[in-house]
Each structure stands twice: as structure tokens, then as C-alpha cells.
Amino acid sequence: MEEANRRRKLALSPVNDSYGEPTFHTVFFRASGLLSGLLVIQELSRQFYAARAWIAEDRIRHAKMTSYHTALRKVPETMNLHQGDRLDHYQIGSLVARSGMASIFRATDTRNGQPVAIKFPHEEMESDLVLHERFVRESEIGKRLDHPGVMKVYEVPVRGRFYAVMEWVEGRTLRKIIAEKAVPQEVAIAIVFGVLQALDYMHDHGVTHRDLKPENIMVDDEGRIKVIDFGIASLAGARRLTFGDLSEVMGTPDYISPEQLKSQRGDRRSDLYAIGVMLYEMLSGQTPFSGSNPFAVMNDRLVNDPAPPREVNPHITPEMQEIIYRALEREPDKRYKSAEQFMWDLLHEDEVGSPERNERVDGKEGKSPIARRVMFYLALALIPVVILGLLMHVLRHN
């Protein structure tokens, strides 16, 4: 009697056959649902990081604009320095740069006639504890570094107001050089090599720049470089400073690494990623990731591979393209681990090789959102077909 009831219940069950085993349709739909769910989770994860990048970029833009306009309103009352004025033992020269947080003047040290750059934080920056600490840390980082490829920051034992005195660097920014003309490969390699030498020294001293870009690289007439602006640099062992809304993403959209977009602090490999972007830009005339706005640029590097630089500039050697790829790996663990490794490949380009990278070969096609979406849904539609074939194969053999 009990056996008859059990068989009756099984017969009425939509998920088991008469022997209590899962039916073919049950296995099929469960497996299909599981794989479809995994794909949906992957797509949701991509959208999540894209949304975070957009929100962070919007916060940065809003904070910078607010700070900039506030600074402009306060310039008449805070920047009361004029060319020819004297501050401590410095003769103030012309105003050379101004941002939302500070202004930089060229000046002369009256003790020895040496030209220097003096950076004055704006009044609201001095009153903001976090921004003030960031300015102090920038000065401290600069003072501890002594390398020909790094801008020096001088000690000022006695001063009438809060400011930083830095080495005056002659030359042009790398941004101006890129904008003027195409950069020959040998010149680009020399510039990158000089920056890597400076980075190798900085990293050995526990400093990560975190905002490397052409605007922060000075090049003189002899081709010598200087790394400047340590405004958001990090120091190993130091307390982490945040900027409130700015704390989630620090860097510049075209050069920021994928891990920094995911709110990670960034390390030496993040600096090497930025170098890879600059090398790509110098050799091809464009940055590896593009978009109609900063959000699109940042999102592009999270989901796409860069277009092969050789397709943009056929004169780039396959080995140089491979060096760029290694620097631009999305996962930090696959990237160059040190500036020394990067320099070794540049010095031994003929030993680098050019392994097949299928995901890079179709880089341009892969960057089409429509093509990617069509491929996604085609793959999704093929899942049940593949599962059905596997199940029929298993059932046939059983």
C-alpha cells in the first residue's frame, strides 16, 4: 500500500520520473537556468562597476568645479602677492599656474639668485583639515625624494605664511610635446625610460604617484625628464587621507588604472599602467580608451581591451606592441610588477617576442557595443542547445 502511494506521488511529480530520478526536462531546465544566471550575474557586475565609475567621475567633476569657482572668488583677498613683492627671502615673480586648490609663482631666492617655484594653497584649503594635511604630505614626500628625475622640494625653516618651495624646472610638459607633433619611437622610449628610472627610485622609497599623466612630466631641451605634482601621491606606512566624495576615485580618466576605478588605493603597478597609456599615446597619437565623456572613457577600460596600436600606427613593432599590452593588462597581477621589469623589456625589445593575443587582434570589433551585445545574446541563446546536445549524448550512452 505504501509502495503504491509512493509511486502515485512520483507519477504526479513534474520533476521526477516513475523511478524517482530527475526527468530529462528537469535536468535541462535547471542546468540552463544555472548557466543563464551566471551570465546575468556577470553582466550585472559589469554594469555595477560602470555605474560606480560614473558616480565617482561625477563627484570628482562637481568637487573640482566647486573648488575652482570658490578659489576664483577668493583670489583677490587671498592671492595678494604681486610681481616684485618680497616674501621672507624670496622675490616673487610671475604667476605661472593656478588650480582650484593652489597657485604657483616663479620666484628668486635672494640668498643665491636661484630660481624657484612657490606653491601657495588657497585660503579655503588651509582651513580644510584634510586638504591641509594633503598639502603638507605632498611637501613631505617631495622633501624625502632626491633624484634627478624628480622635482625637488626645499626645506623652509622660517616662513611668514604657509607655502612650499620647489625646484624651478625648465622645459615643456609632455602634453605640449604630444600636441605639437608625432613623437618618434626612439624619443618616446627615451622619455618613458627616464620616467621609469624616476619611478623605480620613488617606489623603492615607498612613494606611489597615482596621478601620472603628460601634464605631470616635464621634458627639457636635452630630453631629460622631471616627474612633478605629488598632490595625491601615497606614502607607504602613512595614514590614508581621503577627500570625502573624492576618496572613491583618485586620478585622471585617461590614465587611471582599472583597480583605482574599483576604489582600490593603487600601488606601483597603477603607476606603470599610466606609463603604458602614455607610451601608447606617444606612439599612436591617441589614448587606448575612448568615449564621449570621462565616464565612458573609464568604463571602456573595465570592459574592453585597447585597439591594437599597430593598427593605428603600422610602424610600431610587434615587440613594442607586446610591451604596451603588458603594461596595460586589466588585472594588476598580470602587469609589470616593477619599473625595472618594464625597463628591461625596453632595453631588450628583440627578446620580448610577440605572442598571439586573440582578444587583442579583434580589438576594434570588440569595442563596438552593438557587436558585443549581439554576441552576448547569441551565446545566451546557444546555451540550451549545447546543454540539450550534452544531455542527449549522456542519455544515449546510458
Which of the residues are catalytic?
211
Burial profile 359-368: b = 16 or more Cβ within 10 angstroms, e = fewer: ebeebeebbe
Beta strands in 64-128, from DSSP E residues, in sequence order? 86-87, 90-98, 102-109, 114-121
**Are 305 and 363 within 8 A, CB to CB?**
yes
- Per-residue DSSP letter, 16: B
Which spans in 181-219 are helix H? 185-204
Q: Cα dihedral angle (263, 269, 272, 277), rounded to 10 degrees?
A: -40
Reduced to 3 states (helix: H, G, I; strand: E, B; else coil), residue 332 is helix
Q: How far apart are CA 77 and CA 190, in angstroms?
A: 44
- Are the C-beta atoms of 104 and 71 separated by less than 8 Å? no
Specify the amino acid at residue 168. Answer: W
For 233, the grid coordinates are: 601621491
Nearest residue to 105 via CA among 95, 114, 113, 115? 95
d(CA 120, CA 104): 6
Q: Are the C-beta atoms of 165 and 116 separated by less than 8 Å?
A: yes
Tell me the three cell numbers of residue 301: 577600460
